[in-house]
């Protein structure tokens, strides 16, 4: 009988179980470079069927938070190789989430203190993180500028280069972050994309950049090592679409032909409500559109799952279940789910920035 602890083949990856560690920004990579502390953190959590790393910038321009890692330089590739080697030695699998934050950034984090970029020059009503005197400080995002159409091939190239670097760093694959109000999501949604060129207006145009990125990455490293994260209705980082069902049905219909490893879906509002009465969305129909289009990738669900909910979801509604913050305080979450042991509560004061405290010192069973 298939359950959370059944093995599964996901693209090129043979996973020991169906419990996934979701991406978790922790702001512990000074100079955007992974380090020994991060190696220990991920190694401790290698019992997950799959680890998805914290969001990792594809370029300096793609950075939006202080002390988050990148994958656009040689030192970053070497730093991530420490992590992947440790996870593999512990028997785990790990993919990197590739990220361009778009307008969710601050000029202090941009090359030459320039304005962040976006599909349209609309400031995000949200905050980002700077590190001041060793402590995380939340600040308003900076006013962005609209990307010129001639710059978009360069964005696609940066995703491809980061995917290539991921393979050199020993990752088992990549997840393209197209959720939570970051650049690709900004292009897709009407609230943040007011363009009048071939990348704005109707759904086909607003989805164009995402699909160009996905096709280019698949061509570079193969569909069996490429995945995507989507969040159809989350208002995170001040994004909204006037017709998300039609938009995302269109997107997954076109993703279906790419032979992706998995599709990672955030249900509801990220880190909050799973059901939004004012933003109805039919996730079963969404999945059915993907399958009807020939999509064979594993279906991963995420947002507020506990052990019982996850056990009910597999295999009825999903192939994989991602857990986020529970993995912070419970590096052995898989064992705790298997044995019914209690889960530790995380220390919110140490979520962003800092050192080992609240990062690698949570106890195991």
142: tokens are 């900076």
For residues 195 and 120, the answer to whether their CB atoms sit within 8 Å is yes
Domains, the chain, ordered by start: 8-350 (3.20.20.70)
For residues 49 and 298, the answer to whether their CB atoms sit within 8 Å is no
CA distance 111 to 205: 29
CA distance 199 to 338: 47
Q: Is the pTM of this model over 0.75?
A: yes
For residues 213 and 258, the answer to whether their CB atoms sit within 8 Å is no
CA distance 227 to 194: 27
For residues 276 and 268, the answer to whether their CB atoms sit within 8 Å is yes
| Residue 72 annotated among the catalytic residues of the structure | no
Residue count of the chain, please give it: 365
Name the pairing type of β-strands 298-302 and 262-266. Answer: parallel
Low-confidence ranges of the chain (pLDDT < 50): none
Confidence at residue 92, expressed as pLDDT on a 0 to 100 scale: 98
From 42, 72, 159, 182, the catalytic residue? 182
Return the ∠ at Cα 234 (arms to 329 and 240), rounded to 5°. 150
Confidence at residue 134, expressed as pLDDT on a 0 to 100 scale: 79
CA distance 6 to 310: 13
Confidence at residue 241, expressed as pLDDT on a 0 to 100 scale: 97
CA distance 77 to 161: 12
For residues 300 and 263, the answer to whether their CB atoms sit within 8 Å is yes
Confidence at residue 279, expressed as pLDDT on a 0 to 100 scale: 82
Confidence at residue 131, expressed as pLDDT on a 0 to 100 scale: 87
CA distance 290 to 285: 9
Q: What is the pLDDT of residues 124-174, one digit of tens each?
A: 999 999 988 878 899 999 999 999 999 999 999 999 999 999 999 999 999
Closest by CA position to 78, among listed 39, 48, 47: 39
CA distance 262 to 19: 14
CA distance 311 to 32: 37
Rounded to 10 degrees, what is the CA torsion of 228, 231, 232, 237?
Answer: -130
Q: Which residues contact 192 (CB under 8 A, 6 or more apart)?
A: 103, 118, 119, 120, 122, 124, 181, 185, 186, 238, 239
């Amino acid at each position: 009988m298939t359950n959370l602890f059944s093995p599964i083949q996901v693209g090129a990856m043979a996973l020991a179980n169906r419990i996934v560690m979701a991406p978790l920004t922790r702001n512990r990579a000074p100079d955007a470079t992974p380090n020994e502390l991060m190696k220990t953190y991920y190694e401790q959590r290698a019992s997950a069927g799959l680890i998805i790393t914290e969001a990792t910038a594809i370029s300096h321009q793609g950075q939006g938070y202080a002390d988050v890692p990148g994958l656009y330089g040689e030192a970053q590739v070497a730093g991530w190789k420490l992590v992947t080697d440790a996870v593999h030695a512990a028997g785990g699998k790990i993919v990197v989430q590739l990220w361009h934050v778009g307008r969710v950034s601050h000029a202090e984090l941009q090359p030459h203190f320039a304005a962040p970029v976006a599909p349209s020059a609309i400031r995000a009503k949200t905050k980002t993180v700077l590190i001041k005197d060793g402590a995380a400080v939340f600040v308003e995002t900076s006013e962005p500028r609209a990307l010129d159409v001639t710059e978009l091939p360069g964005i696609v190239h940066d995703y491809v280069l980061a995917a290539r670097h991921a393979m050199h760093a020993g990752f088992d694959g990549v997840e393209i972050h197209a959720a939570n109000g970051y650049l690709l999501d900004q292009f897709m949604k009407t609230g943040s994309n007011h363009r009048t060129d071939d990348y704005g207006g109707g759904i086909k145009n607003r989805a164009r950049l995402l699909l160009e990125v996905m096709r280019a990455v698949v061509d570079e490293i193969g569909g069996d090592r490429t995945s995507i994260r989507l969040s159809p209705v989350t208002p995170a980082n001040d994004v909204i679409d006037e017709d998300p069902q039609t938009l995302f049905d269109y997107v997954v219909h076109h993703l279906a032909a790419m032979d992706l490893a998995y599709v990672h879906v955030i249900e509801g509002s990220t880190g909050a409500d799973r059901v939004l009465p004012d933003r109805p969305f039919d996730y079963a129909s969404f999945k059915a559109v993907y399958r009807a289009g020939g999509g064979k990738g594993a279906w991963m669900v995420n947002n507020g799952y506990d052990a019982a909910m996850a056990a009910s979801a597999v295999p009825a509604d999903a192939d994989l279940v991602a857990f986020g913050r529970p993995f912070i305080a419970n590096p052995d979450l898989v064992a705790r789910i298997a044995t019914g042991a209690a889960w530790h509560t995380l220390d919110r004061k140490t979520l962003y920035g800092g050192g080992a405290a609240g990062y690698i010192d949570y106890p195991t069973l």
